[in-house]
């Protein structure tokens, strides 16, 4: 089996509310012409899976999607539309070793929309007549293909009303993870149809983009809420660019991006996503290397929280090693600088860390103000911070 670092990426496409996997057909045709493998994931309760039993929740759909991704050879680009973006993000956060990028198309915020009862009710119990379903999509779209609109109106007839209600409730309520920065630390592209009256520019700028530091945002011309159906060539072009970037640089760039992103998030979870299970860490402030992942996570979350300013000023890539030169201030304005050397494994996860601090006073400050509290909390033994006399 090829490793995720060496095999060409597969685009896994996740549809939204009341749609089905076939809504991606026009995008998949373009991807196929460019020799990009793709899978259209079908949500339980909809499309060909309309007879599936519940629960119909974001967490359940993310579990299903995770299983599909794990069964897919090689790296994956997850592409989600509307509610599908919520599901794609949840799955991607669990699959850092395989999901290399997220493409969010007209994304509903993971935290949900929290429409009041009178506004969510038409989505929970819509008119299922063919004309009403055509009108529903037409009102949110600019150039929805008539044949596709007719097809989806028929598809919706086979969805159980209770499933529809649960589905609308799921995307409206969102997921608790949406209340904090994303747990996914790969590259992210956010696409929005320029005329979407539901996922507006304000929704994206206020509730979606801020959770993804460094995300690339793009407007899809001539499209409303279903950009992938209304302008499939433009959406496929973005997916193609993401796939080609991964294929041309399969793993080398991942450690630096994940490491710097973790410093922005300042959480153990963000560092955990960047680290190999068998990570080993050496540092000027450590009397001996850390060789337990949970200890590395705890130390780096504490150190990152201590920085008042941190700037990565230079990066050099040399095969599996990344050299990051940085400057920082911490502990009430104490200035320091240093070099961090990251070594990746075949999946692009960090397996070795070496951090060199200057001046010597930085080591003293870190030991006293970071090391001591971690030891007191029982997270890292004192022996890692106590240097023998003479050293």
Question: What does the pLDDT look like over 124-146, one tens digit per residue?
Answer: 999 999 999 999 999 999 999 99
Q: Which CATH entry fits the domain spanning 10-248: 2.70.50.60, 3.40.50.720, 3.50.50.60, 3.40.50.1820?
A: 3.40.50.1820
Domain 254-384, CATH 3.10.450.50 — does that match?
A: yes
Beta-strand pair 275-283/216-220: unpaired
Res 249 pLDDT > 70: no
Res 7 pLDDT > 80: no
Neighbours of 239 (CB within 10 A): 27
Residue 355, token pair as written in the block: 């951090």
pLDDT of res. 2: 39
Residue with tokens 């997921």: 175
- Residues in CB range of 64: below 8 A, 6 or more apart: 41, 43, 44
HSE-CB at 164 with a 13 A cutoff on CA atoms is 18
Distances, alpha carbon 28 to alpha carbons 123, 150, 169, in Å: 28, 20, 29
In contact, 313 and 326? CB cutoff 8 Å: yes
- As a whole-number percent, the residues of the chain with pLDDT over 70 amount to 96
- What is the value of pTM for the model shown? 0.72
Q: Could you give the maximum distance between any two Cα atoms of the chain, in Å?
A: 84
Give CA–CA dist 379/371, Å, rounded.
Answer: 10
Give CA–CA dist 122/269, Å, rounded.
Answer: 38
The DSSP output letter for 142 is S
Task: Map out the domains of the chain as residue ranges.
Answer: 10-248, 254-384
Mean pLDDT of 118-122: 96
The number of angstroms, rounded, from the C-alpha of 295 to the middle of its chain's C-alpha atoms is 24
Mean pLDDT of 377-390: 87
Please state the φ and ψ torsions of residue 267, each to the nearest 5 degrees: -130, 155
Per the prediction, the chain carries an average pLDDT of 92
Mean pLDDT of 186-211: 95
Give CA–CA dist 334/355, Å, rounded.
Answer: 18
In contact, 336 and 328? CB cutoff 8 Å: yes
Q: At 245, is the pLDDT very low, low, confident or very high (cuts 50, 70, 90)?
A: confident
pLDDT of res. 110: 98
- Indicate the range of 22-31, 282-291, 339-348 predicted with least confidence: 339-348
Q: Where are the beta strands (DSSP E) in 4-147?
A: 10-14, 38-41, 76-81, 99-105
pLDDT of res. 127: 93
pLDDT of res. 253: 65
């Amino acid at each position: 089996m090829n490793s995720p670092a060496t095999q060409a990426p597969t685009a896994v496409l996740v549809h939204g509310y009341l749609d089905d996997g076939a809504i991606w057909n026009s995008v998949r045709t373009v991807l196929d012409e460019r020799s990009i493998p793709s899978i259209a994931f079908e949500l339980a309760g909809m499309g060909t899976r309309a007879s599936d039993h519940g629960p119909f929740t974001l967490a359940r759909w993310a579990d299903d999607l995770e299983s599909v991704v794990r069964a897919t050879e090689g790296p994956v680009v997850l592409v989600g539309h509307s509610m599908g973006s919520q599901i794609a993000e949840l799955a991607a956060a669990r699959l850092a070793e395989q999901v290399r990028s997220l493409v969010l198309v007209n994304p509903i915020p993971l935290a949900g929309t929290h429409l009041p009862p009178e506004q969510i009710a038409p989505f929970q119990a819509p008119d299922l007549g063919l004309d009403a379903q055509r009108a529903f999509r037409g009102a949110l779209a600019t150039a929805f293909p008539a044949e596709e609109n007719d097809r989806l109106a028929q598809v919706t007839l086979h969805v159980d009303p209770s499933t529809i209600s649960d589905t609308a409730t799921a995307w409206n309520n969102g997921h608790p993870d949406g209340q904090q920065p994303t747990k996914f630390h790969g590259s992210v592209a956010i696409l929005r149809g320029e005329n979407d009256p539901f996922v507006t520019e304000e929704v994206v700028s206020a509730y979606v983009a801020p959770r993804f530091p460094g995300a690339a945002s793009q407007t899809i011309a001539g499209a409303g809420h279903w950009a992938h159906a209304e302008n499939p060539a433009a959406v496929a072009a973005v997916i193609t660019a993401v796939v080609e970037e991964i294929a041309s640089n399969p793993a080398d760039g991942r450690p630096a991006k994940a490491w710097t992103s973790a410093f922005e998030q300042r959480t153990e979870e963000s560092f955990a996503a960047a680290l190999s299970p068998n990570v080993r860490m050496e540092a000027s402030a450590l009397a001996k290397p850390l060789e337990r992942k949970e200890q590395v996570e705890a130390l780096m979350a504490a150190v990152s929280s201590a920085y008042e300013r941190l700037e990565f000023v230079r990066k050099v890539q040399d095969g599996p090693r990344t050299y990051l030169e940085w400057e920082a201030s911490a502990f009430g304005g104490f200035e320091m600088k240093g070099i961090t050397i990251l070594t990746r494994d075949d999946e692009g996860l960090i397996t070795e860390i070496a951090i060199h601090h200057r001046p010597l006073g930085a080591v003293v400050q870190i030991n006293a103000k970071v090391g001591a509290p971690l030891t007191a909390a029982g997270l890292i033994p004192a022996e890692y911070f106590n240097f023998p006399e003479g050293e």
